Structure 1
Amino acid sequence: MSKTGVHRRPTLAQRLRGVSGEVVQFAIVGLIGIAVNFGVSNAVLHITHWPAVRSSVVGTLVAIVVNYVGYRYWVYRDSDAASRRREITLFLVFSGIGLLIENGTLWFTTYTLGMTSTLAYNGAKVAGTGIATLFRFFSYRTWVFKTIPELPEPATVVEQAERILAGERVEYTTS
């Protein structure tokens, strides 16, 4: 807050500094989720011999659960948890869209391009996961895990007096 009592928007550099820590945490949770996703998907594919996309969907679903726990309790722990039902609903909707992006890429590679090797399977999962991750990051931070707005610190008596002398409106708070 400036001396005139007007809230100024953070500069681009300040916003990028704030996002960089979030990006690192998001990436760590995401890497754990990717390891779970690929581990479970490949295990299901090679143990059960289910079709590629079905095996991948199982891995993606398990990773979604792991990621929710990481995002909710670490990356976005300071977000508004007042409406947990809304948060979970939106998380599942955007995760479902991410699942379709990721597994749609695998489906296209497998059934349209006819590439069925383990290398093609994992390559398609990497491409689909990358695209879906970008989508998830922006949708989670924009709509799912909204941060609690910071309340301005109450003005000191001196600041309130300066505002009165400058002819500004002063809001009084009780502490």
Structure 2
Amino acid sequence: MTTTAPSRPSLTQRLRGLSGEVVKFGIVGLIGVVVNFGVSNAVLHLTGWAPVRCSVIGTAVAIAANYLGYRYWVYRDSDAASRRREITLFLIFSGIGMLIENGTVWFTTYTLGLHGPLAYNVSKAIGTGIGTLFRFFSYRTWVFKAIPELAEPEDVQLPRPQDGAGQASRTGSVPAERMPAREKVEYAK
């Protein structure tokens, strides 16, 4: 059986797919930001704990919410063969993102000596932005890997059937009982 290698999507198709992924990632991320800021500000104002501790709590809750959005919506078509590996990498990269995000809160609070809700939220917003860029590229590169694309059915060339003497038949058609069953596989682009 001769097969041809699947052709790579054009740059336009890849950018179109990436833009859809960025939009979905942004929607889940925006929900995560609302959860993050809501929880961290609520904990900060209700408990009076240290700003970095409150920020870490908000970030941890947002990471849990984001995982659900990424796994079951943005990257639902990614290879889920090894869920343990996926969750481990997600937590590692989320932890690095958390350090980036809360590092800016720490720097603003303890190095610059800026206290108050405005300084807290501005530093958290800057850290969240930088952490989000890091998370986007690490999640799509290492955590939620795409399922490798298979050759499309029209790319597969079936061998010509042989007649009883080992000769190829004149028509080149394949009898129905010898045709392989094909199932159309659809991929989200």
- What TM-score, normalized by structure 1, do the two folds share? 0.86
Considering Cα pairs closer than 8 Å and 6+ residues apart, tell me whether 1 or 2 has the greater RCO. 2
CA 1:128–1:150 in 2, change beyond 3 Å: closer, same or farther?
Answer: same
The residue identity in structure 2 corresponding to 1:134 is L
Q: Deviations over 1:27-73 (max 9, x none)?
A: 00000000000000000000000000000000000000000000000
Report the Cα offset of residue 149 of structure 1.
1.3
Q: Deviations over 1:10-32 (max 9, x none)?
A: 22211110101111100000000
2:81 maps to 1:82: yes
2:98 maps to 1:110: no
- What percentage of aligned pairs have identical amino acids? 73
Report the Cα offset of residue 6 of structure 1.
4.2
**Structure 1 moving runs of 4+ over 4 Å:** 159-162
5+ long unaligned stretches in structure 2: 161-178, 182-189
Report the Cα offset of residue 8 of structure 1.
2.6
2:35 maps to 1:32: no
Whole-angstrom CA distance in 2 between matches of 1:12 and 1:135: 23
The CA RMSD measured in Å over matched residues stands at 1.9
The residue identity in structure 2 corresponding to 1:41 is S
The residue identity in structure 1 corresponding to 2:120 is Y
Whole-angstrom CA distance in 2 between matches of 1:6 and 1:37: 45
SS of residue matched to 1:53 = helix
CA contact (8 A) 2:77 2:146 kept: yes
Q: Deviations over 1:118-141 (max 9, x none)?
A: 000000000000000000000000
**Corresponding pairs, count:** 161
What corresponds to 1:121 in structure 2?
120
Whole-angstrom CA distance in 2 between matches of 1:156 and 1:143: 29
SS of residue matched to 1:150 = coil
What corresponds to 2:66 in structure 1?
67
The residue identity in structure 1 corresponding to 2:121 is N
What corresponds to 1:45 in structure 2?
44
- What TM-score, normalized by structure 2, do the two folds share? 0.80
The residue identity in structure 1 corresponding to 2:124 is K
CA 1:156–1:92 in 2, change beyond 3 Å: closer, same or farther?
Answer: closer
Q: Which structure is higher in helix share? A: 1
Higher Rg of the two aligned structures: 2
The residue identity in structure 2 corresponding to 1:12 is L
Whole-angstrom CA distance in 2 between matches of 1:156 and 1:113: 62
2:131 maps to 1:136: no
Whole-angstrom CA distance in 2 between matches of 1:15 and 1:34: 27
SS of residue matched to 1:81 = coil
The residue identity in structure 1 corresponding to 2:25 is F
